[in-house]
Chain A
C-alpha cells in the first residue's frame, strides 16, 4: 500500500511537468504580441516601438523560450503566478483565489446532486428493470445526454425563474442562486452515473456470487445492497475521480450563462482581454486538478479493493 502510494506520487512529477509545459506552449502559440496587448489593455495612449520593447523586458518576454518556461515554472512552484495584464495591481493567484470559492461551491453542490440522485435512481432502475420507473428514467437519461449544457441552463432560467418565478435568474448569492446552475452542471453527469450504476448492477446480478448468496438464503435486500451495490460502486470510484475535476472545469459554460462569478467566468473574461497570465493559470489549475483527483481516487479504490491491494503489493 505504502509503496503503491509513493510510486503513484512519483509518477505525478513528470505528468505535472508535461502539463505545465504544454500549457506554456499553447499560450505562447497565440499569435498576438503579449507586450502590445498588455499596453493596450492598460490604455496607454501612444504605443511606440520603444515602449513595447520596454514592456517586453518588464514582462520578461525578451528572454529565450525555454528560459521563460523555467522561470515561469520556478515561480509557479513558489505559488507566484505573476500579475494580471489587465490590472497590474492584482496578482493572478489573488484573482484565482478570489473566484475559486464560488466555483467550488457550484461544483460541490453539483457533486451532491450527482451522488444524491444517480445513486438511488440507478439502484432502483436496476432493481425494477423494465418497470415504468426504469423506462421513465431511461427516457430522462437519453434526453439529458442529448441536450447541450447552455441550452439546459437557458431553459431552466426561462421555466423556473421567469415563468414560475421561483428562483433568481442569475448572479451570486445564497443557496437559492446556486440551485439552478448547480443542477445544470450536474445534469449530464447524473444521467451518465444513472446509466453506469444501473448497468453495473445488472451485470453484477448475473454473477455466480449472487446465485450463491441466494442459495445461502440471504435476504434479497442484503444481497442487493451489501453485495451487488457495493461491487457496482467499485468501478464508479475511478469514474468519480475523473468527474470531479470535470465538474470544476465544466462550470465554465454555466458560470457564463448564470453570471456566476467563479474562475470559469474569470477565464472567459481573460480570454476576451488577452490576459495571458490568467488564462495560463486557469489551464494549469484544471490540469493539476485532474492529476490530483485521479491520483486520490485511484488510491481510494486501491484501498477499497482487496484484489488490487494484493496484486500490486
Chain B
C-alpha cells in the first residue's frame, strides 16, 4: 500500500494560564493513495484540532507532539515556509463554513487567482483559464460569471464546490476535508459528495474526510476512526465499524443515526450511479 499520510501518536495540548489542556490524545491513523479515512466524532471531540496539527495551522498556544509523516516526511516541527508551500499545493484543504471562508471583499476569481499564483508560475491569462477549468470540473455552469461574483452572491453549496475545485487545483496527493457537508443544505450536500466520490474514484488522491454525519461518511470512507473527547475510541474498516462496532460510544452514535442514515444512503448511493 502506498501510504500518503501517516499520523503516529499525535497529541495536541493547549496552554491556558499555567495549565496544559489535552485536546487530542495519542491518536494514530494513516491514509493511502486512492483511499479515504473518515474521522467521526461529536462536536468538540478534537477532529479539527487533529487536522490543524497535520497542516501546521496551530499557533504558539498549542503544543503538538508525535509524528505526522506526509509522503514519508515528518511535518511536525518542519519550518513554516515549507508547510505553507505544501498547503494548497500537495495538500488540498476543504473547510466547514464555505460562506465565511472567503474574504467578502474580493471576487471569487481574485481569490482563486491568488491561490494559484502562490503555488504556480502561471501568467494571469493562464490562471484565469485554469480557474474556469476547475469550476467546470466541479460542474459549475457559467464559470466565467461565477469568477466575477463576490462570495456573498453565491450559495453555500456553490462556494463549497469552489473550495473543492481549488483544493484539486494542483493535483494534490492528499485532500483534507473538515466537515465539508455540515454547513450546506441537503441538495448541495448531494452534489458535494458526488464530487468527493469522483475524486476518490480517480485513485490518485488520499482523502482525510471528517464528519459527524455517519450517513455521509459511510458512502465515502473505507477506513473509519471514531474520536471522543480527543481520543480515538475505535478504528477499522468502515463496514466492520458500521455493522459491528466494539466500542459502546460508537454503537450509540450509530444507533442514533441509523434511521437518518438509511434514508440518506439511498439518496446518495443511488444518486451518482443513476446519473452515470
- B is bound to A: yes
Query: Is B9 interfacial (CB 8 A cutoff)?
Result: no
Of all chain A residues, the one with the shortest Cβ separation from B166 is: A216
Query: Is A231 interfacial (CB 8 A cutoff)?
Result: yes
Smallest beta-carbon distance B156→chain A, Å: 12
Report, nearest first, the 5 A-B pairs whose CB atoms are least far apart.
A217-B88, A215-B93, A212-B101, A217-B87, A208-B100
User: Given A209-B102, A231-B105, A307-B104, A219–B118 Cβ distance below 8 Å?
Assistant: yes
Residues of B in contact with A (beta carbons under 8 Å apart): 55, 57, 84-89, 93, 95-97, 100-105, 114-115, 118-119, 150, 152-153, 163, 166
* Cβ B103 vs Cβ A209 within 8 A: yes
Measured between beta carbons, the chain A residues less than 8 angstroms from B153 are: 310
Taken together as a complex, chains A and B put the C-alpha atoms of A253 and B160 apart, in Å, by: 56
* Cβ A215 vs Cβ B105 within 8 A: no
Measured between beta carbons, the chain B residues less than 8 angstroms from A306 are: 104-105, 150, 152
Query: Is A87 interfacial (CB 8 A cutoff)?
Result: no
User: Given A208-B97, A306-B104, A217–B115 Cβ distance below 8 Å?
Assistant: yes
* A window 183-222: CB within 8 A of B: 207-209, 211-220, 222
Measured between beta carbons, the chain A residues less than 8 angstroms from B100 are: 207-209
* Cβ A217 vs Cβ B105 within 8 A: no
User: Given A217-B86, A222-B114, A307-B150, A208–B105 Cβ distance below 8 Å?
Assistant: no
16 A–B pairs (Cβ distance < 8 Å), ordered by A: A208-B97, A208-B101, A209-B102, A211-B57, A212-B101, A214-B57, A215-B57, A216-B115, A217-B84, A217-B89, A220-B84, A226-B114, A306-B150, A307-B150, A307-B152, A310-B150
Smallest beta-carbon distance A129→chain B, Å: 11
Taken together as a complex, chains A and B put the C-alpha atoms of A231 and B100 apart, in Å, by: 13
Measured between beta carbons, the chain B residues less than 8 angstroms from A216 are: 87-88, 93, 114-115, 118, 166
Smallest beta-carbon distance A21→chain B, Å: 40
* Cβ A212 vs Cβ B55 within 8 A: no
Residues of A in contact with B (beta carbons under 8 Å apart): 207-209, 211-220, 222, 226-227, 230-231, 234, 304-307, 310
Taken together as a complex, chains A and B put the C-alpha atoms of A215 and B163 apart, in Å, by: 11
* Cβ B87 vs Cβ A214 within 8 A: yes
* Cβ A215 vs Cβ B104 within 8 A: no
Measured between beta carbons, the chain B residues less than 8 angstroms from A305 are: 104-105
Measured between beta carbons, the chain A residues less than 8 angstroms from B93 are: 212, 215-216
B55, B105, B150 interface centre (most CB from chain A within 10 Å): B105
Taken together as a complex, chains A and B put the C-alpha atoms of A218 and B103 apart, in Å, by: 13
Q: Tell which of B55, B57, B89, B101 touches A209, judged by Cβ atoms closer than 8 Å.
A: B101
User: Given A222-B114, A234-B105, A217–B97 Cβ distance below 8 Å?
Assistant: no
Of all chain A residues, the one with the shortest Cβ separation from B112 is: A216
In the complex, besides A216-B87, A227-B105, 10 extra interface pairs with C-beta distance below 8 angstroms are: A209-B103, A214-B57, A214-B84, A217-B85, A217-B118, A218-B114, A305-B104, A305-B105, A306-B104, A306-B105
Measured between beta carbons, the chain B residues less than 8 angstroms from A222 are: 114, 118
Taken together as a complex, chains A and B put the C-alpha atoms of A231 and B102 apart, in Å, by: 12
Q: Tell which of B95, B114, B119 touches A215, judged by Cβ atoms closer than 8 Å.
A: B95
Smallest beta-carbon distance A220→chain B, Å: 8
Measured between beta carbons, the chain A residues less than 8 angstroms from B88 are: 215-218
Taken together as a complex, chains A and B put the C-alpha atoms of A16 and B89 apart, in Å, by: 57
* Cβ B57 vs Cβ A213 within 8 A: no
* Cβ B55 vs Cβ A215 within 8 A: yes
B89, B93, B101, B150 interface centre (most CB from chain A within 10 Å): B101
* Cβ B104 vs Cβ A212 within 8 A: no
Smallest beta-carbon distance B258→chain A, Å: 32
* Cβ A310 vs Cβ B101 within 8 A: no
Measured between beta carbons, the chain A residues less than 8 angstroms from B89 are: 217
Taken together as a complex, chains A and B put the C-alpha atoms of A272 and B119 apart, in Å, by: 69
Of all chain A residues, the one with the shortest Cβ separation from B87 is: A217
Taken together as a complex, chains A and B put the C-alpha atoms of A196 and B276 apart, in Å, by: 55
Smallest beta-carbon distance B98→chain A, Å: 9
